[in-house]
Chains A and B, each alone.
Chain A
Amino acid sequence: MEKEVVLPGELLGERKGRKLGQGVYLENDKIFSKILGMPRISDVEVIVLPLTGKYIPRFGDRVVGTIKEVEISGWLVDINSPYVAFLPLSEGVEEFVDTQRSDLSRYFDVGDTIFCKISRVTKQKVTQVSMRDMIARKLYGGVVIKVTPTKIPRIIGKAGSMINMIKQQTKCEIFTGQNGFIWIRGENKTKAIEAILMIERESHTSGLTERIEKMLGGK
């Protein structure tokens, strides 16, 4: 049976050989939630999806980051997390770069925004990002806004329905990072930002898609 919201310490049932997903812990062969979130309980796995919380890097996530520092052989990237990610030169640039002669700020400088993929995360959360991905790119111009990372799936919507609607209605270019950073460029970006912040505020209510459509179509 699925409950609506679970709190830390709430019993989710016996283990019965099931896998432990995120947001749960095991004590005396019983599964408990360890966060405020929504449970997904099946015969195979028990997980609790968080409703709030900071972004913790995970392998394979696509994130929007801003360059914080330029090092000798790579860049430090702010990914809206307690942990700073490192972008090595070999993962950032395709061509051969002689580090003795050239300064890496000619590729990415402090303050630049990039869309990249988390390529490595160690147990100690030493994080590496990579530009070797189909969709990874440097983002020119535009603005970056910050939302609660746990609301990103709602902003994207089912198979991208929500974000595609905003893109079409406002004719903006939008990149949503799973870390809660969203990059927006276009003439109507104020409208797009308003819509995204409205989704963040009202993410737990129903009929949101229609309301957003109405709001964007209104003008």
Chain B
Amino acid sequence: MGGKKSDIELLKGGKRTDKRKPEDLREIKMEANVVPNADGSARVQFGNTIALAAVYGPRALFPRFMQEADTGILRTRYNMAPFSVVDRKAPGTDRRSTEISKVTRLALSPSVLLDDFPKATVDVYMEVIQADGSTRVTALNAASIALASAGIPMRGLVAACSCGKIEDTLIVDLNGLEDNFGNADMAVAMLPDKDEISLLQMDGLLTKEEFFKLLNMAKEKCLQIVEQQKSVLKKLYKVDKEMTE
């Protein structure tokens, strides 16, 4: 969050606190179908940040007044586990998670096509089990894989990436320290196949030039991330010739 003072040197000789270059992503691990009970699920890890997403549905929607006669609806829940941060987080919904639940829903909804499921709902549950910065984008990346593996119709996969600024250096994929003590941070989610942005949030100060430069950096990284999402999903089904006949 924009420019808290700290004694920690975030950039030392062009290297960040975790020895990364400014334009480097952390190590990314992705896995699909990790929750057997769910219709689709995924676990995504960006460095020390781990998010789990589970998708249920389309399923019948109650209470009935929430039903839409001509389309299905998307519901999302973002939650951080009490043990996900160093200081225990009070369990349950708070102002922050309510907001992130809403923005992740808005980030996913340009992609999901729910016209075929009138009166039904698709529920996406995102749980952050370890937090070290960029939790909302990690959760979004997991949600996108989970939706696809649940067989929900989508216009394309959603990939997300965070970016920001330390002093005058533009960086991508912020960790916890950079998130807290950097000069600016920005979360970007997009549909890389369509080149459409579906989430753009910013905190801190950036000039117009910096903003556009950062946006392009984030877009480039989203393209990398979506390739990894695709390979994880394709790995689920190694289809043999026999079945394609």
Contacts and interface: CB of A to CB of B under 8 A. Distances in A.
Given A83-B120, A206-B241, A34 B151 contact: no
Contacts of A82: 57-60, 117, 119-120
Interface stretch (B13-21, B154-162, B174-182): B154-162
B154 A8 contact: yes
Contact of A25 (B113, B150, B233): B113
Chain B interface residue bracket vs A:
35 or more
Contacts of B233: 5, 7, 36
A35 interface: yes
Contact of B153 (A5, A10, A35, A205): A35
Interface stretch (A45-53, A95-103, A135-143, A181-189): A45-53
Interface string B221-236: 0000000001001101
A170 interface: no
Nearest to A8: B154
Nearest to A82: B120
Interface in A113-147: 123-125
B244 A4 contact: yes
B156 A5 contact: no
A124 B59 contact: no
A34 B60 contact: no
B113 A36 contact: no
B149 interface: yes
Contact of B151 (A25, A54, A203): A54
Contacts of A75: none
A210 to B, nearest CB: 11
Contacts of B155: 8-9, 25, 27, 32, 34
Contacts of A53: 39, 150-152
A23 B241 contact: no
A52 B244 contact: no
Nearest to B72: A82
A9 B157 contact: yes
B170 interface: no
A5 B116 CA distance: 22
Given A53-B151, A54-B151, A8 B156 contact: yes
Contact of B157 (A8, A84, A205): A8
A205 B241 CA distance: 9
B154 A34 contact: yes
A124 B149 CA distance: 25
A150 B40 CA distance: 14
Residue from A35, A38, A84, A207 having most chain B Cβ neighbours under 10 A? A35
Interface of B: 39-40, 57-60, 69-70, 111, 113, 116-120, 148-157, 191, 193-194, 230, 233-234, 236-244
Interface of A: 2, 4-5, 7-10, 23, 25, 27, 32, 34-38, 50-54, 56, 82-84, 123-125, 150, 154, 203-207
11 contacts: A4-B239, A8-B148, A9-B156, A10-B193, A34-B155, A38-B239, A38-B244, A53-B151, A204-B239, A204-B240, A204-B243
The 3 residue pairs across chains A and B that have the minimum distance between CB atoms: A9-B156, A53-B151, A8-B154
